[in-house]
Amino acid sequence: MEKFTKLTGVAAPLAMINVDTDMIIPKQFLKTIERTGLGKHLFHEMRYDETGAEIEDFVLNRQAWRTAKILVAGDNFGCGSSREHAPWAIADFGIRCVIAPDFADIFYNNCFKNGILPIRLPQEQIDLLMDDAQRGANAVISIDLEKQEISGPDGGQVSFEIDPFRKHCLLEGLDDIGLTLQKSEAIEDYEEKTSQNHPWL
């Protein structure tokens, strides 16, 4: 998993509450087990019309936010069914951080497992960041995970909270497999002893 240390980029404003996982990645795109290729289907039903043409006024289709790395969203982001394809699609699009007042628990946990930093902030701070994001390419936002700070385009800073263990995993680029592989020597030692003591297994 790619390490998350500092991120600087344009933030896209999505001022909608209760954005569920089916809105993030509709069910017809869940057949794949690959983590790549889903970015083009992110928010599919909001980005494209019935013919497959882009809906011009959707935020990620507008020139200022086509390469957004940060998403500023409304409350209860990622609710609905527990599909890991949702963070896969967000990451494949190029977004590494989602900032919202709150997240659905399963989506929140899946973000950390896929190299995405979900940040919870009070609504008044979300409103300020949403205003910054409305300025598009003229309002670059920086996120420093080590310092747990968000820096706005006008020099203002906002602190955020994060679980220390999850912070460590993002900084080191450790998903569940990476964490397990840190114990590879102990695992190999156990397997060797087991094969000697129980050769019939």
Question: Residue 177: is its pLDDT beyond 70?
Answer: no
The DSSP secondary structure of 88-157, one letter per residue, reads: HHHHHHT--EEEES-B-HHHHHHHHHTT-EEEE--HHHHHHHHHHHTTGGG-EEEEETTTTEEE-TTS-E
Mean pLDDT for the chain?
Answer: 92
Look at the pTM and tell me if it is higher than 0.75: yes
Lowest mean pLDDT among 75-89, 157-171, 173-187: 173-187
Question: Where are the domains positioned within the chain?
Answer: 6-197
pLDDT digits (tens, 9 = 90+) for 130-143: 999 999 888 899 99
- CATH: 3.90.1720.10, 3.20.19.10, 3.40.47.40, 1.10.3720.10. Which one for 6-197? 3.20.19.10
